[in-house]
Amino acid sequence: MRTQYLLLLTWCIGYANANAQTIRIPADYPTIQAGIDHAAAGDTVLVSPGIYSENLNFNGLDIVLASFYLTSGSTDFIAQTIIDGGNHTAVITLDQGESSYAEITGFTLVNGTHDESIQWPEFGGGIVCLGASPFIHHNRILNCRGRALNYSDFGGIYCRDSGARIFENEIDSIECFFVKKLGGIVSHRSALIIHKNAIRNISGGYVFQGGGVSADSSELDLFRNVIAEGHFDLAPYTASVRLFNSSLTAINNTLAGELALDTASIAGLTNNIILGPSVASGIYVFNNAEATIDARYNTIAGGWPGAGNFDADPMFADPEHFDFHLSESSPCIDAGDPFFSVDPDGTRADIGAFSVEQTPNGIQDPNPFPDQLLYPNPAKDYVKILRQYAFLTLDRYVVFSLDGKLVDQGPIAADGNLYVGKFPAGIYGIRLYSVDGKVHTCKLIKTGY
């Protein structure tokens, strides 16, 4: 019986993938929510450029919600495809157990807030994830302002009981007063992977736990983010990251404000720049709270014990205009952990979110063209995906037709082999997802002979 059930389950999953549809907005339905309402798991809701005044709910569906950025790779579509929440509630809500196969990509989201229909809402923001773990990448989340509320939470992205992956988003101008937790990203009882985001202009008054990223009872993985200082009236800090009873692994981030810890929080820090302009040290521990900090090879304002840590001006290119690239004379170049991964140019790791290109001996390895990640190409039966290539580690693939329809998806096999013999002859796109959050789009030519 168990064998029959597993066979039936496998057949159903394969059938669902084979029958996944692309729903086009506004060609198929006039609103994005109408497209979601008519979608099934595995479908893609593909949105044309324009301004859409909507508040969306995924309705528990593991679907891809995307602009034309998804199919073209052009970031121009991110600014051209706007969802305006109208200051009614969150712009997008996922609250019915959506998994990591739910995806939001390629939008500008504006004017998210608390739910105006509830007198005392618990949370609000641009994207709200409650018991959901979507993949949120390559979006702009802007101008979200909450109401003055007692003891609620508010964030550009708010996550509770979530395992979301949040990669390469711009989060700007998030504001609220009289709240417990406020941040560009707010995490409560969640385990979040937060890679390569830019977060700035987070502000409010009478905020208990405020920061560019604010976490309570959570586990955070931060990699190559740039997080400006927060501005909170009556607070003794301008925290870029605020931890309360939480654990943090932070590698190669640039924090223009402090790392603030409270109540049994744990932080492992490697190759970060932590400035902390408002207090004596870039790391601020509240009231001698029990906090465990393992810091190595970081640039920390005021200094901090640990191998390779130092206090120096990082010499950013133009920090007043949010350009935190290192100048060529920065002391952070080649000052990272020598036993850590090298920079893409093959030299010792730099400290901070951005590495500086160097050309050892006048020779530099070129970045691989995406199509080099597949071979043979053209192919009839199998292609091999290079799971490990240069500085890439790939773990998931999505195959789609040239008109954007989903053809196949799944984890990349350990040997990298992907059977394509079941596809009709033609040209396909393959999106390859790397563990560091990048999405590589390749072209596959499938032959019939």
Is a pLDDT exceeding 50 seen at residue 85?
yes
The confidence score (pLDDT) of residue 345 equals 61
The confidence score (pLDDT) of residue 65 equals 98
Sequence-separated (6 or more) residues with CB below 8 Å from residue 10: none
Each as own residue / partner, the long-range contacts of residues 306-313 (CB below 8 Å, 24 or more positions apart, any chain) are: 308/335, 308/336, 308/337, 310/335
The confidence score (pLDDT) of residue 282 equals 92
Confidence of residue 448 (pLDDT cuts 50, 70, 90): low
* Tokens 């301008």 found at: 238
Q: Is 430:444 a contact under the CB 8 Å cutoff?
A: yes
Which tokens sit at 339?
């036993």
Q: Is 238:287 a contact under the CB 8 Å cutoff?
A: no
C-alpha 105/C-alpha 102 separation (Å) is 10
Confidence of residue 66 (pLDDT cuts 50, 70, 90): very high
Residue with the bigger pLDDT between 315 and 151: it is: 315
C-alpha 199/C-alpha 424 separation (Å) is 44
The residues facing 53 across adjacent strands are: 84
Q: Is 263:292 a contact under the CB 8 Å cutoff?
A: no
* Tokens 């900090």 found at: 293
For the chain, what percent of residues have pLDDT higher than 90? 55
Is a pLDDT exceeding 70 seen at residue 279?
no
Burial of 448 (0-12, 13-18, 19+ CB in 10 A): exposed
Confidence of residue 385 (pLDDT cuts 50, 70, 90): confident
Report the candidate in 272, 269, 223 with the shortest Cα–Cα distance to residue 436. 223
C-alpha 146/C-alpha 315 separation (Å) is 35
Per-residue CA distances from 400 to 28, 253, 376, 379 (Å): 19, 34, 18, 16
C-alpha 102/C-alpha 58 separation (Å) is 8
For residue range 425-435, list pLDDT tens digits in order. Answer: 777 888 888 87
What does the mean pLDDT of the chain come to?
A: 85
Weakest-pLDDT range from 106-120, 132-146, 435-449:
435-449
Sequence-separated (6 or more) residues with CB below 8 Å from residue 108: 78, 79, 81, 82, 83, 139, 140, 142
Is a pLDDT exceeding 50 seen at residue 72?
yes
For residue range 230-267, list pLDDT tens digits in order. Answer: 887 756 567 899 999 999 999 999 999 999 998 889 99
Q: Is 71:429 a contact under the CB 8 Å cutoff?
A: yes
DSSP state of 424: P
